[in-house]
Amino acid sequence: MVRLTTSVRQRILEQNEGFSKRTYSEERNSEEERIYTISGGELHIRAIGKTSWADSRYDKEWIASDEETHRFLYKYQSKMNLDGIE
């Protein structure tokens, strides 16, 4: 397992341009789909969901923080190209 320092995270992002992952979560009063995409050396997140309230649909996009990027790469590094990264 690679140690995810700031420079290693950046190399992984650059080496995995175009990588995409979808996740789904469902709780008692809400459901959400998240689409993670690596583009331009950054992790982009799009969250689409709804809650039990009638007007509660949402569709948000943002660039992941360092902490969000670290958690994502830690969780999914086994699915990414890590050639030459130690």
Strand order in the sheet with 20-27: 20-27, 30-39, 42-51, 58-63
Q: Per-domain residue ranges for the chain?
A: 6-79
pLDDT digits (tens, 9 = 90+) for 12-24: 999 999 999 999 9
Q: What is the pTM of this model?
A: 0.89
Strands (E) in 2-63, as ranges, are 20-27, 30-39, 42-51, 58-63
pLDDT (tens, 9 = 90+) of the chain, 86 residues, equals 789 999 999 999 999 999 999 999 999 899 999 999 999 999 999 999 998 887 789 999 999 999 999 999 999 999 999 998 87
CATH architecture under which domain 6-79 falls: Roll (3.10)
